[in-house]
A and B are shown apart, each in its own frame.
Chain A
């Protein structure tokens, strides 16, 4: 009874699915823009994974021997900050914060947004009305103020940042998923599923959601970029991770007062943030491009 009919092509080797997935990813090669984006993102993922191996110093250690000579040298390739902490090491370790917090937050937002959007779009009527009005209320607040209220109330921590991002992004995702669901629920295969007696949850999750994946993957990529910016902004406002742990936004904030005298200290974390955001956006463009071709 529980035999998995989904792996129907039993004649095929088990890795057929994985191979097909890899082949789809390999399609990205045909989009130069997407390749650049994927390269940037992959670069930062590798940096985050290998942080303990490649980082030359402890990111929180102050190098008292260099006195006030913060500029790049053979000892500190990117220089140090005003507390004589190695910038390169801080950037490397800071990438971990962003690359853990952003995907987790976007993932949580997607789980909630997809469920709400599916419910609203599939049932319509009063369910739709309630879900969409709640979303509208959340969406009507200025994002920054909402962040500040949430973080200020619950205190700055990685968990609370994820909570805040989820709370703000979920309604936006709900809107997208609802729109896609409204269209997909009218497809004949949904009617066919109803006619063989499938439950509403099965129809929403197995018949409708997989076919909404194209636009959602693109949106998720873009949203990772926005979330990276949001985390940076929170860090800059002092609502990021509590010190002394490195976080890119917080690094920009620390350099704020020295901007005119020692700009390098703010430029480097800014470039890190930008390159990751641009990477996500280009990747989204590339995926959209090959998606259109398909």
Chain B
């Protein structure tokens, strides 16, 4: 790398960023320095609350009323941003630097057409004519791979899907050919296949435009795809920075290692490579420890050296490109991913099915309008779902948003009733009984862990009340006994027992999710349905919750139905997997079967889209065109036919595909013969 010969676009020199509140100055970023040259992409990663977004806003010199650069300098193309006038800043911001935020809907004006908003950029910044602006807007829409740019041009933001909106935002950011592009979690809200397409777009644009990119993400996998350098932030400090390959192959800072130990890498599972969460939490900016900020959570800490004075940033092993802020860096052992210590236990092969779902349909009847003679239409959310989960095992259900996986969870838990088909729990039919009509025994047997930690607990009730009330209702325990047992459950989920007096807002996201698990455990359930229980959490918390679920399952022998869009987590946690698309199961089998050929073409595409945080992994690239069709308009043949890259012919559009079965019980629903599906290469391969 000869970055030094290139022109630097962005330089942060000992930048110090603070917010000013009624409580006084809060120093969020004490001292950060890095340089970004043209054509370079730097990924900033770290847990939430580490100051990533603050740095992004500071780079744009857009910290709002309460934030300020209180020390050091931020140079853009050699000019000090602090010394620019408002007019100069405006000219630079729209013209030479652009920003893409996480939520595209909040970046787009809902009452203006997409085209108008795009045209504004050249009209305002360059004084271009209407016609010229229009031409350029359509050209840029074409460039970001939007199908039929002329029609997108005329549409309003709400008429586009999330992925299309984000492409429009990127198009807008690129409109003025910026030399610096700041992207703050640009793909976080998107489905994996859409995310993959957007990431590919960013990579391609970077190559053609030579823009420098600051790419902020909590997902190490996306950073590997986009960036050539990575900066790991912890509590406002850049603790490690260097080329992607070097940092991932030989992480030198204990925090970087901790992050890597937290994330399941596609291909590892709970039996071979356990996840190791980082203990503790990111310290708040007001209570930053003396010396190394990571010391309180660090496994390698030596207090008399780590917590005394400022920790210098030094080149790792004398490599000037790879900087680390750790005094013990030279003595740390070589990094190795954690391996299972004990003997690897075999997958549980119990035969008794705890849950069996046969020909399950769920149809929502959409009422027609008053003057609608057709009288409404049907939305088929689940169609002919057949599944089984053995006692004590984990069944994972994966798929993108709108595939019906949450509807399935609702039918299992009785929050919705099945339209047709059978759901039996340990031999008892529950599919047609709403939760109000289920017996207490069934309610005890089947409990649920929800996705959103902020909505899972009632903010008006204390933690203890939430758990004790559940114990009272499900086990008919008296108040005093319920309180005592609630404290016991808190211990099971590894929370201090005196948390029972707290309100949910005094807890972090991971702690709330633990309480939710404790509540679900209150009745002593045999089946737990977990709907995306970790997708809203930081990676280190995610690892801890996953480990907790595994441990509880081992102790209690409970069956787990785990719903997720994250294939790495599913690969790690599940015993059996079902892949859903538009309300249908397209592939099902053991986790080893589903993650290896033969694949359903959709599974293959999903696997190729998963961002993998390992630069040594080779992944096949399958980009899916188009969007998931609406559930109101499911294709009559194969549901995946409209986007399938391996479509056989018209038969896919007209005839529902047959279910192919291997002798091992692996099911694939596809028109392509099994032999042909078997001969493909695995999607994910490690480079040797």
Q: Does B435 contact A (CB under 8 A)?
A: yes
Known: A5-B465, A6-B465, A211-B458. A188 touches B451 (CB 8 A): yes
- Is the pair A194, B415 in contact by a Cβ cutoff of 8 Å? yes
**Which of A2, A30, A188 counts the most B-chain CB atoms under 10 A from its CB?**
A188
- Is the pair A211, B459 in contact by a Cβ cutoff of 8 Å? yes
- Is the pair A5, B450 in contact by a Cβ cutoff of 8 Å? no
Per-residue A-contact encoding for B329-346, CB less than 8 Å = 1, 0 else: 000000000000000000
By a CB distance below 8 angstroms, the chain B residues around A211 are: 458-460
Interface residue ranges of A185-215 to B (CB < 8 Å): 187-189, 191-198, 207, 210-211, 213
Which partner residue on chain A sits nearest B480 by CB separation? A3
Q: Does B593 contact A (CB under 8 A)?
A: no
- Is the pair B413, A195 in contact by a Cβ cutoff of 8 Å? yes
Q: Does A18 contact B (CB under 8 A)?
A: no
In the bound complex, CA of A193 to CA of B460 (Å): 14
B474 to chain A, nearest CB (A): 6
In the bound complex, CA of A192 to CA of B453 (Å): 13
- Is the pair B479, A4 in contact by a Cβ cutoff of 8 Å? yes
Per-residue B-contact encoding for A63-94, CB less than 8 Å = 1, 0 else: 00000000000000000000000000000000
Known: A8-B462, A188-B450, A207-B458. A196 touches B479 (CB 8 A): no
By a CB distance below 8 angstroms, the chain B residues around A210 are: 458, 460
- Is the pair B462, A189 in contact by a Cβ cutoff of 8 Å? no
The stretch from B12-20, B304-312, B440-448 touching chain A is B440-448
Known: A3-B479, A11-B498, A191-B450. A197 touches B474 (CB 8 A): yes
By a CB distance below 8 angstroms, the chain A residues around B447 are: 195
- Is the pair A197, B456 in contact by a Cβ cutoff of 8 Å? no
Q: Does B473 contact A (CB under 8 A)?
A: yes
In the bound complex, CA of A194 to CA of B448 (Å): 11
Q: Does B436 contact A (CB under 8 A)?
A: yes
Q: Does A243 contact B (CB under 8 A)?
A: no
- Is the pair B469, A196 in contact by a Cβ cutoff of 8 Å? yes
In the bound complex, CA of A6 to CA of B465 (Å): 6
Give the size range of A's interface with the partner: 20 to 34
B629 to chain A, nearest CB (A): 26
In the bound complex, CA of A191 to CA of B452 (Å): 12
Which partner residue on chain B sits nearest A30 by CB separation? B22
- Is the pair A194, B483 in contact by a Cβ cutoff of 8 Å? no
Q: Does B348 contact A (CB under 8 A)?
A: no
Chain B interface residue count, CB cutoff 8 Å, equals 43
- Is the pair A9, B478 in contact by a Cβ cutoff of 8 Å? no
Q: Does A22 contact B (CB under 8 A)?
A: no
Which partner residue on chain B sits nearest A293 by CB separation? B22
Interface residue ranges of A143-176 to B (CB < 8 Å): none
Known: A5-B468, A9-B501, A12-B501. A196 touches B448 (CB 8 A): no
Per-residue A-contact encoding for B415-457, CB less than 8 Å = 1, 0 else: 1000000000000000000011010100100011011100111
By a CB distance below 8 angstroms, the chain B residues around A207 are: 458
- Is the pair B450, A192 in contact by a Cβ cutoff of 8 Å? yes
**Which of B440, B479, B483 counts the most A-chain CB atoms under 10 A from its CB?**
B479
- Is the pair B456, A192 in contact by a Cβ cutoff of 8 Å? yes
Per-residue A-contact encoding for B358-384, CB less than 8 Å = 1, 0 else: 000000000000000000000000000
- Is the pair A197, B451 in contact by a Cβ cutoff of 8 Å? no
Q: Does B500 contact A (CB under 8 A)?
A: yes
Per-residue A-contact encoding for B518-529, CB less than 8 Å = 1, 0 else: 010011000000
In the bound complex, CA of A34 to CA of B500 (Å): 34
In the bound complex, CA of A2 to CA of B481 (Å): 12
Known: A9-B464, A196-B470. A188 touches B415 (CB 8 A): no
Q: Does B482 contact A (CB under 8 A)?
A: yes
By a CB distance below 8 angstroms, the chain A residues around B414 are: 195
- Is the pair B440, A197 in contact by a Cβ cutoff of 8 Å? yes
- Is the pair A5, B458 in contact by a Cβ cutoff of 8 Å? no
By a CB distance below 8 angstroms, the chain B residues around A12 are: 501
A1, A187, A194: the one contacting B436 at CB < 8 Å is A194
A258 to chain B, nearest CB (A): 51
Known: A5-B483, A211-B460. A187 touches B455 (CB 8 A): yes
- Is the pair B501, A8 in contact by a Cβ cutoff of 8 Å? yes
Q: Does A10 contact B (CB under 8 A)?
A: yes
Q: Does B210 contact A (CB under 8 A)?
A: no
- Is the pair B455, A189 in contact by a Cβ cutoff of 8 Å? yes
A206 to chain B, nearest CB (A): 8
B595 to chain A, nearest CB (A): 30
Q: Does B472 contact A (CB under 8 A)?
A: yes
B286 to chain A, nearest CB (A): 17
B522 to chain A, nearest CB (A): 8
Per-residue B-contact encoding for A32-74, CB less than 8 Å = 1, 0 else: 0000000000000000000000000000000000000000000
Per-residue A-contact encoding for B478-515, CB less than 8 Å = 1, 0 else: 11101100100000000000101100000000000000
- Is the pair A196, B474 in contact by a Cβ cutoff of 8 Å? yes
By a CB distance below 8 angstroms, the chain A residues around B473 are: 196-198
- Is the pair A188, B501 in contact by a Cβ cutoff of 8 Å? no
By a CB distance below 8 angstroms, the chain A residues around B486 are: 8
By a CB distance below 8 angstroms, the chain B residues around A196 are: 443, 469-470, 473-474, 522-523
By a CB distance below 8 angstroms, the chain B residues around A3 are: 478-480, 483
A211 to chain B, nearest CB (A): 6
Which partner residue on chain B sits nearest A187 by CB separation? B455
By a CB distance below 8 angstroms, the chain B residues around A2 are: 479
- Is the pair A192, B480 in contact by a Cβ cutoff of 8 Å? no
- Is the pair B472, A5 in contact by a Cβ cutoff of 8 Å? yes
By a CB distance below 8 angstroms, the chain A residues around B468 are: 5, 8
Which partner residue on chain B sits nearest A16 by CB separation? B501
In the bound complex, CA of A239 to CA of B458 (Å): 46
Across the A-B interface, give the 3 residue pairs with the lowest CB-CB distance, nearest first: A3-B479, A9-B501, A8-B464
21 contacts between A and B (CB under 8 A): A3-B479, A5-B465, A5-B468, A8-B464, A8-B468, A8-B483, A8-B486, A8-B500, A188-B455, A189-B455, A189-B466, A192-B470, A192-B519, A194-B436, A195-B435, A196-B470, A197-B438, A197-B473, A198-B473, A210-B460, A211-B459
Given contacts A8-B483, A10-B483, A187-B458, 9 further A-B contacts (CB under 8 A): A3-B478, A3-B483, A5-B464, A5-B468, A6-B465, A9-B501, A192-B516, A195-B413, A195-B447
- What is the interface of chain A, defined by CB distance below 8 A to chain B? 1-6, 8-12, 30, 187-189, 191-198, 207, 210-211, 213
